[in-house]
Structure 1
Amino acid sequence: MPNNVQLLEPLVSVIIPTYNRPEYLKQAIASAVQQTYQNIEIIVSDNCSPENPQAIVESFQDPRIKFWRQQQNIGMLANQMSAFNMAQGKYLASLHDDDIWNEDFLAKLVPHLEANSGLVLAFCDHYIIDTKSKINQAATEENTRAYKRDQLAQGIYQNFYKIGLVDKSIPTAAACVIRNDFIDWHSIPSEVGGMWDLYLAYLCCISGRGAYYHPERLTRYRNHEQTDTMLSGSRNAQAKIRKAQSEMFCYQIFAEDLRLRQFRSYFQQKYLEAHTTLAIGLLRNKQITAARPYLWQALSQQKFNLRTLVALTISFTPQLLANQFLGVSKNI
């Protein structure tokens, strides 16, 4: 792209937090470098990986890439926020180290933000890929339906509380470009943990600005066993506990926000569901006494819930039988 054309484009900060995924990281960086929209800075923030990825970063020989390595592992969220705070661009986009962008991702989203100063973000749909970067078409279609993007028309959504926080249609961590100066990255509390993307959607929702939806699939989200989503859905007790605590924190804030009062019952229900999830994580961690209060609270404040009732029953079951049941019922 000619330099004079490039200068007319606003700077976009591409944020790539990474930890111990060298081969995937290489693909992620390549997809950022190959963007047809070229006025970008690429911030790679390594969370003190066992194997320093600096050589991988330097192999691209691209002056737009800035590499930062934490001196110790500071946690996923802190590493992510550290990179966000380094961003100098007018716009910002998150690219996980195991995901991939189509080369026209930025070129198709940034112009909508440039054309309308009343927008806080622009987002698109995305593919689901496997460990070998092959598109899983069935999973992709299922994902689009699950987040109701198949029901969204292209264009501007001025009040997007429902699609942002209830339908969760906006993939802020995987397929979204955000107006950088409208978010105070220091204001995101550590308690949001792995739900930082939902909390970011919340900050964008309450900004008073609109969102633009582009229905094309312009990014590729990798589904593999080491994502926190997969871990929290399996027998990894600590991942389940972390996820539940993050959900409880976020949904309590949403439920108490008067601007979101029309969705309060939904947020309260999700808050109580997270109590059960946390309790199940604690049960798997053999912290039975700690688990019960969360189950009692969930049971007393919501209508009959089989998942909660089963978990509470397990908490009174002899440990050997309880362990066997939890081992079989991975999805509760």
Structure 2
Amino acid sequence: MTINSKLPEPLVSVIIPTYNRSKYLEQAIASAVKQTYQNIEIIVSDNCSPENPQNLVASFGDSRIKFWRHKENVGMLNNQMNAFKMARGKYVASLHDDDIWNQDFLAKLIPALEANSNLILAFCDQYIIDAQGEINAAATEGNSRSYKRDQIASGIHEDFQKIGLVDKSIPTAAACVIRNGLIDWDSIPSEVGGMWDLYLTYLCYISGYAVYYYPEKLTYYREHEQTDTMLSGRRNVQAKIRKAKSEMFCYQIFMEDVRLQEFHSHFKRLWLEANTTLGIGLLLDKEVKAARSYFWQALHEQKFNLRTLTALTLSFTPSIITNKVLGVY
């Protein structure tokens, strides 16, 4: 008599933090519900959206979905971390409320993690889609090249500090599955802000575990007007300031970590760029004195940088000229 000894699929927690994007949220949840890998819990954590999505979430009628709504806006990072801490699964995977997964996303990444207990995460490549959900072929290929995912060998990578922290190839917040229980979610400081995914990659690196790359595009990253990337330009000065502060905090930690000394100059360059970006944001916010201090600091560390010199010069010109010119930075 043959006994079927196949073990049950381990539970995977799908984390969907959301804020006021019901149209996209519905598509994100649908892509999670339709996963061919079925043993999942879906945690939708709402950051006190003015448009309460509770009825939308309930409309799926799926007992695997758990809905949490904060009584007040706790910020993007706290909302994300709260959902991670609610996860009961052996593995966790973050899904932005405006992104989509292929039906076989989990089915293709989980086996590698199950086969090797020394892996902390598995990740893949992604498509870039527009607000309407159409694939932007040029942006997709440009994204893969920019993050060098077109150059990464399929399989296990034990030394992934360059892949993860320099090339930023691992889309930790959008296209990867992480082994739960290895990361202390409370150890992610509030200062990382919108850079929490890069900092999470850092925590995965210093854990001593390895990562696995599956070289297919299994997720769809949506680019639209309300993403943090789009907001952190001149259209939203406060978003620009927040992003620069987050970058400075992360790169400072990376610069000080002796395990990353071979990349010290790289992280210092990015830290200096973030100093200038913060100065530009403060200048646009009419905090001229504070802005100059960051320009002077950046110039002191790198001696010459045209972007920084231009911004510093503009801090002494009428604001109408400053705002017009700094729109390109």
* Aligned twin of 1:285: 285
Aligned residue in 1 for 2:60: 60
Structure 1 equivalent of residue 274 of structure 2: 274
Q: State the partner residue of 1:114.
A: 114
User: Deviation at 1:302?
Assistant: 1.1
2:150 aligned counterpart, secondary structure: helix
Q: For 1:325, what is the secondary structure of its paired residue?
A: helix
- Say whether 1:21 aligns with 2:21: yes
Q: Residue 186 of structure 1 aligns with which residue?
A: 186
Partner of 1:160: 160
TM superposition shift of 1:261: 1.1
Paired letter, 1:101 = W
5-14 or 42-51, which deviates more = 5-14
* Residue 7 of structure 2 is aligned to residue 11 of structure 1: no
Matched, 1:331 2:328: yes
- Answering whether residue 231 of structure 2 is matched by residue 231 of structure 1, we say yes
The whole-number CA distance in structure 1 between the counterparts of 2:89 and 2:106 is 13
* Counterpart amino acid of residue 106 in structure 2: L
Residue 51 of structure 1, CA deviation: 1.2
Q: Cα 1:23–1:284, aligned 2, differ >3 Å: closer, same or farther?
A: same
Given residue 119 of structure 1, which amino acid in structure 2 is its aligned partner? L
One-letter amino acid matched to 1:331: V
Task: Indicate the residue corresponding to 2:47 in structure 1.
Answer: 47
* CA distance, structure 1, for counterparts of residue 220 and residue 109 of structure 2: 15
Do structure 1's residue 315 and structure 2's residue 315 form an aligned pair?
Answer: yes
Partner of 1:126: 126
Tell me if 1:222 matches 2:222: yes
Report the residue type matching 2:328 in the other structure: N
With the length of structure 1 as denominator, give the TM-score of the two structures.
Answer: 0.96
Cα distance change on mapping 1:302 and 1:6 into 2, 3 Å: farther
Question: How many positions carry a matched residue from both structures?
Answer: 326
Which amino acid is the alignment partner of residue 224 of structure 2? H
User: Paired residue for 2:297?
Assistant: 297
CA offset at residue 223 of structure 1? 0.2
Please give the secondary structure, in 1, of the residue aligned with 2:123: strand
Deviation by residue 1:196-245 (Cα, 9 ceiling, x = unmatched): 00000000111111110011000000000110111113431101000000
Identical-pair percentage: 73
| SS class of match (2:181) | helix
Contact 1:100 1:221 in 2 (8 A): yes
Q: Report the Cα distance in structure 1 between the residues aligned to 2:5 and 2:227, rounded to whole angstroms.
A: 39
Closer/same/farther in 2, CA of residues 154 and 238 from structure 1, 3 Å limit? same
- Could you tell me whether the CA contact under 8 Å between 1:6 and 1:38 is conserved in 2? no
Kindly provide the CA deviation profile for residues 151-208 of structure 1, in whole angstroms up to 9, marking residues without a partner as x. 1111111010000000000000110000111100011000000000000000011111
Question: Shift in Å at residue 331 of structure 1?
Answer: 3.1
- Calculate the aligned-residue CA RMSD, in Å: 1.3
Residue pair 1:255, 1:267 contacting (<8 A) in 2 also: yes
**Structure-2 separation of matches of 1:132 and 1:6:** 41
